[in-house]
Amino acid sequence: MAIPFSRKLRLTSKPVLLAAALSVALTAVPTAILGASGGNADAREAFARAAQFRAERDVRSARIALLNAIKADPEWIDARVAQAEVLLKLGDGIGAEAEIDRAVQLGIDPATVRHLYGHAYFLQGKAQKARDELLTNDIPQQYQGYAARIMGKVALQMGDEQLAGAAYNRAIELDGKNPDLWVDIARFRFRLGDQAGATNAVDEAVKLDPVNVGALQYRGELMRFQFGLGAALPWFERALELDPNDIPLLSEYAATLGDMGRMTDMLAVARKIIALDGKNPRAFFMQAVLAARAGKYALARRLMQKTGGMIDNVPAVMLVQGIIEHAEGNHNAAADQFQRLIAIQPNNRQAHNLLARSLYLAGSAGDAVDILIPQVNRSGADPYALWLVGRALEDIGERRQAAAVMNRAAVHDFGRESAFMASAPLNVLRAEAQRNPNDARVVVPYIRALYNAADYNAAFEEAKRLQQGNRGASAAHILVADVATAMGNYDEALDALGQARRIRFSEPVMLRLVEVLRAKGDMQKAGEDLAQYLSYNPGNIAGLRWMAYAHLETGSWAVAAHILENLRQRIGDNDALLMAGLTQAYTGLGETEKAIAAGQIAYHVQPSSPVVTHLYGLALLQDRDGQKKAVSLLKKAVEIQPDNMVYRKSLQSARAKQQSSAVAGAD
């Protein structure tokens, strides 16, 4: 359901003065002082401090002050309700419910706190109870906007997107200048795949309240999604200046630092989170990730145990738990974790590869093949998947099939990861798409099936129609770009990728841009786009590979070697193309010993690769004692790919050099 985009918004100024703070806090309390007590002097003093803390957005300190107010006068309703509001801000639904219950016992009209009850039940995951409270018809007018906003969150918790849309529309009518509402709408739009709409909504939240921590945090999350990790940090850091103890904000900040490779900084933030919340599972998880990356798997396991199983159903947690089991040789246990992960994320290629490896090492080579065959049988197969399937096929006696797969790996016939993988027969998908022509979740698989059937014209027509109806969804533009690229229509592909990039400059968009621009011969623009992507994502492996290869093409040997050595430290020596790139770079630098060492490793990993064989041969050619072997390797590269003129010229030059050396030696 569409949500109207309100533009009747204004900036507000909120000076933090004691008088204003007290006013803000008192107006937030949803009842007049009509309860069992009016609050004694000590309680009122503590309440005033809490009001100031709330105005300063320091809800943790406000909670302590309200505890003091309640201790001084346990029967003061306003203190109980204010404490419930603070606990809701802190995400403590159970504590908030207890305070509301006590306020009701003291005499407050339950209708005036139904919106708070609904919020508390939502935080506890009690969606039906929350719904029952929020949809009653006795909620006072001034709280109906709050109730509608929470109803939107509850509806999403229940999986009812239509009800959520209706609730948010109602909230806009009643409370359209609430920045928290626009943050919730942004999250809702993002869930629907409308990334552009999500950005517009959170921008409205920031305009309404430039110091709203939740709005700044989510703007950072969207910047991270849209442009990359580095783009998010200024937003998170700006929000942390306002509230340095906000745990959800600290968690997002720490996770981003970790993904950027700033592990020391991530660890410092994770420790701060634990100091604030000694049972915070996400902080312990981040520490476990750091331990696992350092190879300290026993420590990683102990840290994971401290999460208490609270986040075991989170995909990233399943992945790390599986990696820990795998690293410690518990391959069946690892396979169980990866199978759970795939059940949630069926298109996660890394999980498929890890599951297949675990099964292979557990002695189930046939099962490993079954896991990877769908990937291997299409364009974009992971090099590791090809290698593993080849080994597994050999183990089960299918040597002919194994040879075919290994030959693909040898010539690096991986393709690139495609946006297309049919999930059902074409006729079934066509019927579904005809019944639901405006449902992207139905139409996209149909387009994929048309693409796989090489019916590019029909696929392009459907993709363009989907794009027109989903301008805010990056995936819709990528579909158009992929079909256009397959048709050789590079201008159309670039236009679609430009639209996708404005929504989200992701790795898939970057890789496609580089590919299409290079196909058009525009190497400079490809390099510029790649450099911009890496400015936000400096640790991205795919981007760094392309950057290194671009420097190899231009003879910038030192830069290429530096990039590739850094990648080598991160992913090891078992990547044949990476090691071959290092071989070429060191050959160009005249560092023959290093070039030969790298080439030897690459050749050991993939001896049937013509690329590896050729570059290793060129490295050996620089060593007088290795010229004979160099000629042999270059000859092998030509035999594997006889039509490659570069390989043929290298072989001719090597033979001429060998002959010249022989003549010089005879003299």
Higher pLDDT, 104 or 442: 104
The more confidently predicted of residues 574 and 389 is 389
Q: How many CB atoms lie within 10 A of CB 98?
A: 16
How many CB atoms are located within 10 Å of the residue 1 CB?
13
Distance CA 113, CA 101 (A): 10
* Residue 421 binned pLDDT confidence (cut-offs 50, 70, 90): very low
Cα–Cα dist 637/642, whole Å: 8
Alpha-carbon Rg for the chain, nearest whole angstrom, is 30
More confident position, 301 or 450: 301
pLDDT of residue 162: 93
pLDDT at 8: 30
CB atoms within 10 A of CB 247: 18
Of 99-103, 139-143, 166-170, 661-665, the range with the lowest mean pLDDT is 661-665
Q: What is the pLDDT of residue 13?
A: 31
What's residue 481's pLDDT? Answer: 93
Determine the Cα–Cα distance for residues 407 and 56; give it in Å rounded to an integer.
65
Mean pLDDT of the chain: 86
Copy the structure tokens of residue 317.
Answer: 């947690």
Residues 132-145 as b or e (16 or more Cβ within 10 Å = b): ebbbeeebeeebbb
Q: Is the pLDDT of residue 462 over 70?
A: yes
Q: DSSP letters of 345-372?
A: -TT-HHHHHHHHHHHHHTT-HHHHHHHH
Query: What average pLDDT does this structure show over 548-561?
Result: 93
Write phi, then psi, for 76 (nearest 5 degrees).
Answer: -90, 110
Three-state DSSP at 38 gives coil
Q: What is the Cα 516 distance to its own chain's centre?
A: 24
Which of 130-134, 165-169, 432-436 comes out lowest in average pLDDT? 432-436
Residue 591 pLDDT: 95
Distance (Å, whole) CA 72 – CA 386: 70
Q: What share of the chain is helix, strand, coil (3-state, %, to 5)?
A: 75, 0, 25
Q: Give the model's confidence band at 419: pLDDT under 50 very low, under 70 low, under 90 confident, else very high.
A: very low
Section 334-357 average pLDDT: 91
Give me the mean pLDDT over the 6-30 stretch.
Answer: 32
Q: What is the mean pLDDT of residues 556-577?
A: 90
CA–CA separation, 557 vs 625, rounded Å?
A: 24
CA distance 90 to 307: 19
Q: How far is CA 626 from CA 457, 640, 648, 661, in A?
A: 54, 21, 19, 12
Among the ranges given (394-403, 462-471, 658-667), the one the predictor scored with the smallest mean pLDDT: 658-667
Confirm if 462 and 476 have CB atoms less than 8 A apart: no
Query: Do the Cβ atoms of 549 and 575 come closer than 8 Å?
Result: no
Distance set, CA 552 to CA 69, 230, 558 (Å): 69, 26, 9
pLDDT tier, 30 (very low <50, low <70, confident <90, very high otherwise): very low
pLDDT of residue 665: 59
Among 45-54, 196-205, 439-448, name the one with the lowest average pLDDT. 439-448
Q: Which residues contact 242 (CB under 8 A, 6 or more apart)?
A: 57, 211, 213, 216
- Separation of CA 78 from chain center: 43
Higher pLDDT, 515 or 421: 515
Averaged pLDDT for residues 392-398: 88
SS3 letters across 408-434: HHHCCCCCCCCCCCCCCCHHHHHHHHH
Percentage of the chain modeled with pLDDT above 90: 58
Q: Does residue 5 surpass a pLDDT of 70?
A: no
Mean pLDDT of 369-377: 85
Confidence category of residue 424, pLDDT binned at 50, 70, 90: low
pLDDT, tens only, 143-177: 999 999 999 999 999 999 999 999 999 999 999 99
What's the average model confidence in pLDDT over 34-57? 84
Q: How many CB atoms lie within 10 A of CB 468?
A: 10
Predicted local distance difference test score (pLDDT) of residue 446: 83
Residue 6 has pLDDT above 60, yes or no: no
Other beta carbons within 10 Å of 374: 11
What mean pLDDT is predicted for residues 356-380? 86
Q: Which two tokens stand for residue 116?
A: 């708070």
Per-residue pLDDT of 310-341, as tens digits, reads: 999 999 999 999 999 999 999 999 999 999 99
Task: Kindly indicate the confidence band of residue 378, based on its pLDDT and cuts at 50, 70 and 90.
Answer: low
| pLDDT higher than threshold 60 for residue 557 | yes
pLDDT value at position 1? 37
- Separation between Cα atoms, residue 596 and residue 617, nearest integer Å: 9
Arithmetic mean of pLDDT, 116-143: 95
Tell me, what's the pLDDT at 196?
Answer: 84
Instruction: Specify the length of the chain in residues.
Output: 667
The half-sphere exposure of 64 on its side-chain side, counting CA atoms within 13 A, is: 4
Q: What is the mean pLDDT of residues 458-471?
A: 85
Distance CA 122, CA 436 (A): 32
Q: Band the pLDDT of 409: cuts 50, 70, 90.
A: low
pLDDT tens digit sequence for 279-314:
999 999 999 999 998 889 999 999 999 999 999 999
- The residue type found at 602 is A
Q: How confident is the model at residue 274 (pLDDT cuts 50, 70, 90)?
A: very high
If one compares 284 and 424, the residue with the highest pLDDT of the two is 284
3-state secondary structure of 37: strand
- Whether 370 shows a pLDDT value over 70: the answer reads yes
Handedness of CA 180, 181, 185, 187 (dihedral sign): positive
Q: Determine the pLDDT at residue 37.
A: 65
* CB burial readout 167-200, b (16+ within 10 A) else e: bbbbbbebbbbbbbbbbbbbbbbbebbbbbbbbb
How far is Cα 566 from Cα 261, in angstroms, rounded to an integer? 12
H/E stretch holding 143 reads helix 141-157
CA dihedral 5, 7, 13, 16 (to 10 degrees): -10
Contacts of 107 (CB under 8 A, 6+ apart): 34, 35, 36, 77
Q: How confident is the model at residue 11 (pLDDT cuts 50, 70, 90)?
A: very low
